[in-house]
């Protein structure tokens, strides 16, 4: 290491320089020790930071994947487990970030962390809202929120974490370069000082050499630690030298590219990394000879296809950063690729599910209405005419009731395939819900549309559905309407087509009906549909009111009457009072009677519950012997609704209503149509103490045999027989027969529509038990405070089905 002359010079000057050499040596060694300690501390700190950042990214990514899995799973127990892991991911993320923020951070690191926190504050509420919707059973809406809001917000969080991770790599590389340079400087200084003395210099040189060797070994260990960290990261990491030649790849990068590090080391980056444009599949010329390494992978859109040496392709997102030395000179670059193949597949699946019907594979109602809006807009702008077919199966319920829902689902799938073959390639076929389909005919005059509709009808008529040993014929009723500039909105197009379909069914089914604005049947249908809107608005505005009419016993004075029927009235926009006969048929046809029944129960019980309880207790205390009853009408839809019974029981408990004063009226038709459910419904409430009246008896099936199976307390004779009984011997005989049979069965009878004193006397002669009508008492307002259909904080049982 040293020549002879130098050694002599060192020996000659050793005595003079010994003190100086000893002092300089001590200072040099102390500097080296400090450099070593600082480097170890800096490197360790960067390793810890990198590990924490990697764990934050893993926790955030697992939350997104768990949220996607929650949306796709149908198993409630699995969804609950995923929801718990979803919440645990947030705790892990916050723990890692807390540990990171407690470390010493540079200004750049703090700035990126602050941006990450801001992005997280945006993404987390969206994720939690989507998770709550999934747990509430609204997976379809949650999927749309995930695609539209959650994924983009979470990607911005990942971008900030990637920047922070890249900054750690850069800081580690810079610290390593600086440490190596410091060690080299110290080494040369000690060698120069050792040349001043032979023996002392040699000893000092040996000592310094050993010290530097230990330092290099420590540096090597730190480098190995850094490589282990890179091996544990879930993203692909690659480094290059200043010329763009590959220097290092972690195992994930090796798997994605199909290259091993020892094979690719020293090769130009563009020989190893094959990137394609996802849309055009053309290679991306991201790195050319002489291009700046730190800007080579910036400026092209992501995600991108990475095609490996083995031929497999991955959808990746990338980021890159330069590696700088102490002087700020670029000495290489670090490239990071994140495999988003699975995430993109899940996103595509969610997007498909959001716009398609899972059973038939056709587009769903939401997507159908979106495309219809586009056609309506083109009709307005370009004077084009399109058409809409509203297709409703005629015998679907027969298949469902006979063979079950599995057979019904298979029938829908087969018909979807059949219809798809009968429409044009440019036409849009969708399942609108249940057994209803829709077809959008683009640029199709009404005459041509009618031929297509007839083709669909004939194909359905000729179709035979085979299930096990049964064969079914299935017809369709089709409503046809033009889509032109005269329609105000997509809703008006659907209303017109639905009305035409309804007319087709009314005329005998298995036919096509073309919508005409002056069609009387369609005008009636439109009127009913308008009533739906008016009823809903009246409920919202408190314009549905309650009346009561006395039901008087024939064997006592009218003043003792404590039996009332609760009646419904609607106050229209002009203040006129509308009776139920005007709007109840529309409410029944469009399935909103259960909503009205719920409103009546909640409004009546909340206003009168405590009053009724007080009156009941008072009467019981003084031993009153005449009845206190309030009769409330219930629709057939409510009786068939499995959740309505639970709702009714809950309202009785909530408002402390004595069940003994409640009498529920159901019509003969509703009871017989849903006989099994009606009996269960009635028996359950009778066990509480409630009573039942069979309303309008004689107007429906009129079979006395049914009365033996219905646990009713009162039989209300239909008013149509009462009004003419004094002049029509048949009506009189029917009233007498109904009254006698009811008494034999242990029921009490109520005559409706009692309008004259002569009828009152005749009914007393026949021994009818109760009278109701203008002759014994007119309806009067039942003053209550109107309440909302669904009060704040209290959702009606079975609200989603109403």
Question: Of the listed 235, 394, 435, 718, which one is catalytic?
Answer: 435
Least confident range from 75-84, 292-301, 717-726, 762-771: namely 292-301
Give me the sign of the Cα torsion angle 525, 526, 531, 533.
Answer: positive
**In this structure, what are the phi and psi dihedrals at residue 140, rounded to the nearest 5 degrees?**
-60, -45
Q: In this structure, what token pair is assigned to residue 791?
A: 């009060």
Alpha-carbon gap, residue 238 to 253, rounded angstroms: 7
Cβ-Cβ contacts under 8 Å for 407 (sequence gap 6 or more): 399, 400, 467
Residue predicted with more confidence, 152 or 738: 738
* pLDDT for the residue 229: 59
pLDDT tens per residue across span 773-787: 999 999 998 866 444
* pLDDT for the residue 228: 59
Alpha-carbon gap, residue 79 to 73, rounded angstroms: 7
- The answer on pLDDT for 178 being more than 80 is no
Give the H/E segment covering residue 428: strand 428-433
- The answer on pLDDT for 579 being more than 50 is yes
- The answer on pLDDT for 795 being more than 60 is no
DSSP 510: S
Cβ-Cβ contacts under 8 Å for 515 (sequence gap 6 or more): 479, 480, 481, 482, 496, 497, 499, 500, 522
Label residue 177 by pLDDT band (50, 70, 90): confident
pLDDT tens per residue across span 427-476: 999 998 888 999 999 999 999 999 999 999 999 999 999 998 888 888 89
Long-range CB pairs of 201-204 (<8 Å, 24+ gap) are 201/2, 201/7, 201/10, 201/14, 201/21, 202/2, 204/21, 204/25
For every residue of 253-314, DSSP letters joined together read: HHHHHS--HHHHTTSBHHHH--EE-TTT-PBP----TT--GGGTT-SS-SSEEEE-TTS-EE
Alpha-carbon gap, residue 205 to 30, rounded angstroms: 16
- The answer on pLDDT for 290 being more than 90 is no
Q: In this structure, what token pair is assigned to residue 789?
A: 């259909």
Q: In 3D, which of 25, 53, 28 has the Cα closest to residue 184? A: 28
Q: In 3D, which of 239, 223, 236 has the Cα closest to residue 44? A: 223
- The answer on pLDDT for 490 being more than 80 is yes
* pLDDT for the residue 11: 46
Label residue 174 by pLDDT band (50, 70, 90): confident
Q: What angle do CA 108, 114, 120 make, to 5 degrees?
A: 135
- The answer on pLDDT for 232 being more than 80 is no
pLDDT tens per residue across span 9-66: 444 444 555 666 666 667 666 766 676 676 677 777 777 777 887 788 787 777 778 7
* pLDDT for the residue 496: 85
Alpha-carbon gap, residue 375 to 449, rounded angstroms: 15
Q: In 3D, which of 660, 559, 564, 655 has the Cα closest to residue 619? A: 660
- The answer on pLDDT for 297 being more than 80 is no
Q: In this structure, what token pair is assigned to residue 713?
A: 């307390």
Alpha-carbon gap, residue 152 to 149, rounded angstroms: 6
Alpha-carbon gap, residue 353 to 138, rounded angstroms: 13
Residue predicted with more confidence, 588 or 91: 91
Mean pLDDT of 333-362: 79
Residue predicted with more confidence, 651 or 353: 651
- The answer on pLDDT for 289 being more than 50 is no
Residue 776 burial (CB < 10 Å; 0-12/13-18/19+)?
Answer: buried
Least confident range from 140-144, 442-446, 619-623, 769-773: namely 619-623
Least confident range from 168-182, 559-573, 621-635: namely 168-182
Give the H/E segment covering residue 552: strand 552-553
| CA 330 to chain CA mean position, Å | 49
**Which SS3 state, helix, strand or coil, does residue 19 take?**
helix
Contact at 8 Å (CB) between 519 and 496? no
Q: In this structure, what token pair is assigned to residue 674?
A: 């849903």
Alpha-carbon gap, residue 72 to 82, rounded angstroms: 11
Q: In 3D, which of 610, 484, 565, 579 has the Cα closest to residue 770? A: 565
Distances from the Cα of 653 to the Cα of 602, 614, 657, 662, 685, angstroms: 12, 15, 7, 13, 13
Annotation says 435 is catalytic: yes
* pLDDT for the residue 299: 42
Residue predicted with more confidence, 670 or 603: 603
Q: In this structure, what token pair is assigned to residue 219?
A: 């540096």
* pLDDT for the residue 691: 95
Q: In 3D, which of 296, 319, 298 has the Cα closest to residue 112? A: 319
pLDDT tens per residue across span 366-421: 899 899 999 888 888 876 789 999 999 987 878 887 788 899 999 999 999 999 99
Adjacent-strand bridge partners of 477: 392
Angle between helices 198-232 and 4-12 in degrees, nearest 10:
110
């Amino acid at each position: 290491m040293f020549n002879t002359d130098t050694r002599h010079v060192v020996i000659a000057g050793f005595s003079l320089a010994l003190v100086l050499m000893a002092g300089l040596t001590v200072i040099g060694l102390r500097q080296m020790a400090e450099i070593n300690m600082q480097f170890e501390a800096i490197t360790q700190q960067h390793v810890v930071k990198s590990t924490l950042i990697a764990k934050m990214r893993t926790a955030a990514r697992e939350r997104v994947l768990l949220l996607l899995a929650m949306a796709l799973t149908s198993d409630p127990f699995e969804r609950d487990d995923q929801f718990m892991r979803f919440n645990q991911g947030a705790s892990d993320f916050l723990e890692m970030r807390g540990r990171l923020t407690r470390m010493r951070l540079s200004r750049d690191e703090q700035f990126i962390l602050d941006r990450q926190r801001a992005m997280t504050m945006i993404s987390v509420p969206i994720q939690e809202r989507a998770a709550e919707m999934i747990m509430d059973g609204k997976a379809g809406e949650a999927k749309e929120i995930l695609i539209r809001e959650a994924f983009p917000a979470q990607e911005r969080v990942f971008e900030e974490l990637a920047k922070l991770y890249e900054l750690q790599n850069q800081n580690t590389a810079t610290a390593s370069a600086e440490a190596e340079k410091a060690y080299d400087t110290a080494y040369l200084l000690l060698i120069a000082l050792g040349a001043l003395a032979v023996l002392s210099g040699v000893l000092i040189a040996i000592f310094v050499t050993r010290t530097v060797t230990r330092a290099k070994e420590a540096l090597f260990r730190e480098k190995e630690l850094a490589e282990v960290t890179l091996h544990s990261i879930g993203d692909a990491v690659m480094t290059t030298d200043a010329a763009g030649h590959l220097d290092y790849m972690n195992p994930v990068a090796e798997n994605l590219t199909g290259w091993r590090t020892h094979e690719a080391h020293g090769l130009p980056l563009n020989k190893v990394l094959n990137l394609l444009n996802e849309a055009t599949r053309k290679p991306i010329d991201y790195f050319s000879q002489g291009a700046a390494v730190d800007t080579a992978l910036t400026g092209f859109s992501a995600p991108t296809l990475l095609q490996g040496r083995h031929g497999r392709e991955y959808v990746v997102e990338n980021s890159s950063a330069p590696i700088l030395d102490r002087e700020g000179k670029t000495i290489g670059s670090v490239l990071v690729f994140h495999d988003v193949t699975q995430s993109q597949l899940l996103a595509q699946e969610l997007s498909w599910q959001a716009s398609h019907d899972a059973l038939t594979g056709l587009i769903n109602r939401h997507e159908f209405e979106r495309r219809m809006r586009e056609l309506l807009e083109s009709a307005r702008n370009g004077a084009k005419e399109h058409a809409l077919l509203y297709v409703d199966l005629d015998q679907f319920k027969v298949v469902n009731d006979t063979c079950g829902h599995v057979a019904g689902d298979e029938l829908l799938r087969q018909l979807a395939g059949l219809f798809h073959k009968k429409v044009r390639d440019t036409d849009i076929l969708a399942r609108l819900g249940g057994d209803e389909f829709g077809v959008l005919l683009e640029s199709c005059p009404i005459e041509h549309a009618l031929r297509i509709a007839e083709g669909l009808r004939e194909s359905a008529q000729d179709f035979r559905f085979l299930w096990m040993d049964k064969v079914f014929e299935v017809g369709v009723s089709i409503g046809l309407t033009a889509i032109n500039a005269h329609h105000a909105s997509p809703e008006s197009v659907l209303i017109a087509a639905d009305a035409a379909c309804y007319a087709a069914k009314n005329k005998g089914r298995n036919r096509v009906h073309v919508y005409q604005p002056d069609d009387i049947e369609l005008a009636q249908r439109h009127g009913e549909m308008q009533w739906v809107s008016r009823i809903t608005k009246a409920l919202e505005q408190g314009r549905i009111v309650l009346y009561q009419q006395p039901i008087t016993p024939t064997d006592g004075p009218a003043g003792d009457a404590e039996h009332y029927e609760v009646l419904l009235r609607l106050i229209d926009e002009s203040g006129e009072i509308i009776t139920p006969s005007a709007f109840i048929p529309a409410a029944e046809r469009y399935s909103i009677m259960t909503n009205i029944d719920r409103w009546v129960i909640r409004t009546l019980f909340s206003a009168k519950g405590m009053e009724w309880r007080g009156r009941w207790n008072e009467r019981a205390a003084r031993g009153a012997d005449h009845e206190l009853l309030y009769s409330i009408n219930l629709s057939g839809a409510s009786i068939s609704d499995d959740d309505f019974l639970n709702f009714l029981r809950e309202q009785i408990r909530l408002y402390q209503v004595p069940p003994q004063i409640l009498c529920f009226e159901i019509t003969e038709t509703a009871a017989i149509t849903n006989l099994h459910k009606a009996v269960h419904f009635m028996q359950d409430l009778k066990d509480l103490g409630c009573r039942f009246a069979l309303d309008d008896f004689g107007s429906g099936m009129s079979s006395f045999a049914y009365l033996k199976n219905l646990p009713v307390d009162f039989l209300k004779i239909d008013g149509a027989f009462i009004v003419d009984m004094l002049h029509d011997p048949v009506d009189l005989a029917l009233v007498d027969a109904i009254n006698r049979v009811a008494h034999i069965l242990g029921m009490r009878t109520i005559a409706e529509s009692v309008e004259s004193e002569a009828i009152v006397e005749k009914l007393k002669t026949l021994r009818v038990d109760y009278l109701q009508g203008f002759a014994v008492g007119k309806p009067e307002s039942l003053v209550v405070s109107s309440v909302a259909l669904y009060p704040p904080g209290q959702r009606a049982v079975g609200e989603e089905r109403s």
